[in-house]
Structure 1
Amino acid sequence: METKTVQQAAEDLHIACMDAGKVYADVRKNLEAWEDRFSERMNIVTSHVFPPIPDCSHDWCAYFEGTEESGNYGWGKTKRDAILDLINHFART
């Protein structure tokens, strides 16, 4: 077990918050790029796949309605994670 001073813990928390802010900024940028590319509304379909493996990082799947065959999917441990993965992946293509 690691012992930290209050100052060290505060610095670690500050760094974690800064990193979270960078991740949020990247996601927000990808969302804006995605919105710019598509003016029509596209529905996102989610599915709880729950594969029979011990790792649950791919329990949820997300894809755009009507694009099931194209292979553009988002995967995640939760429904929200799968949707964010789909949007981030889609914005980069």
Structure 2
Amino acid sequence: MGDVAPDLSSIEITEPGDIPDGVAFEDAMAEMEDCVDQLESGDAGLDEALRLFRRGAALQAWCEARLEAVRAQVEELTGGDAAEGDDS
């Protein structure tokens, strides 16, 4: 149980496959939000902004894939009764 999640800030990420196993969804979201914050600050030069954009896009794709995998697991566990949305 001594597994430590990788520190995403020290990993070069340009595509979802760059994100190592064991990363928590919440950590990936926080890293993506950090990329957005840095981009929105306007302080990054052109090359850094492009790096941040690529990193953020890769993190977004990874998070979306993770959410879809969890949704599929929930649907399987509930026999396909997982609600797409609650209209009530």
The TM-score normalised by the length of structure 2 is 0.42
For the pair shown, which has the larger CA radius of gyration, 1 or 2? 1
| Structure of greater relative contact order (alpha carbons < 8 Å, 6+ residues apart) | 2
The TM-score normalised by the length of structure 1 is 0.40
More strand by share: 1
